[in-house]
Structure 1
Amino acid sequence: MILEAAILSVRPGEQGAFERAMAEARPLIGASPGFRGMEVRPCLEDGRRYLLLVWWERLEDHTQVFRGSDRYAEWKKRLHHFYDPFPVVEHFAAPLVVQPDPMRPVTPD
């Protein structure tokens, strides 16, 4: 499993429109082969920033399959004009450490 991560900085005053556009665009990425799930989290310190997390089965499912599709062209049309600056997208391997319940604090051994 691959985790795609990006910090999305949205143009000032465009947060509501961005959130609506993201909700409408969600099925485009969700229909892509290899897609396993996604989260978009608003930043607490800066209301213009969001954390995008997307789980893919393989790196190529994002970089070739989705980005090479008509769905990505539509995703890009709906969302990319909101970003300033354009985000850096990175991909991460399986976790080195896993806390099974993120809501429960870690206790020392």
Structure 2
Amino acid sequence: MILEVAEILVQPGEEEEFEAAYRVAVTHLLGSAGCHSARLTRGVENPSRFVLFVEWESVQAHTEGFRNSPAFTRWREGIGRFLVGTPRVEHFVPAGE
């Protein structure tokens, strides 16, 4: 299992609209092959900063499968207008197991 961690910066003042758009757009993410779960969190000190956690079967399921699919296009169409820059994305594996 791979954990994708994406830091998302949203236009100040549009946080609630982003969250509403995310609730719709996340269906495209969750319906993708290899995607097991997704959870969005919002910053306390900086409420325009969100962190998205997505569990994938593999890095390739995310970077090749999802990103090269129509679902990714619909995902970005749903949330893209709210973003400040490109989200910072990293992948992680369980440690100490």
TM-score normalized by structure 2?
Answer: 0.94
For 2:31 and 2:85, the matched residues in 1 are separated by 27
Q: Which residue of 1 aligns with 2:84?
A: 84
User: C-alpha displacement at 1:81, in angstroms?
Assistant: 2.0
Whole-Å separation in 1 of the counterparts to 2:38 and 2:71: 16
More strand by share: 2
Larger radius of gyration: 1
For 1:27, the equivalent position in structure 2 comes to 27
Compare the two structures and name the one with the higher helix fraction: 2
Instruction: Tell me what 1:100 maps to.
Output: none
Deviations 1:54-104, CA, capped at 9 Å, x for gaps: 00011111001111110100101111221113211111112337xxxxxxx
Structure 1 equivalent of residue 7 of structure 2: 7
Taking the aligned partners of 1:3 and 1:19, their CA distance within structure 2 comes to 21
In structure 2, how many angstroms separate the alpha carbons of the residues matched to 1:48 and 1:38? 19
What's 1:62 paired with? 62
RMSD, aligned α-carbons: 1.2
Letter in structure 1 aligned against 2:29:
I
Which stretch shows the higher mean deviation, 77-86 or 9-18? Answer: 77-86
Could you tell me which residue of structure 1 aligns to residue 41 of structure 2?
A: 41
> Where do 5+ consecutive residues of structure 2 fail to align?
none
Tell me the residue number matched to 1:53: 53
Runs of 4 or more, structure 1, over 4 Å off, are none
- Map of 2:94 onto structure 1: 94
TM-score (norm 1): 0.84
Q: Structure 1: any 5+ residue segments left out of the alignment?
A: 98-109
Question: How far does residue 46 in structure 1 lie from its aligned partner after superposition?
Answer: 0.7
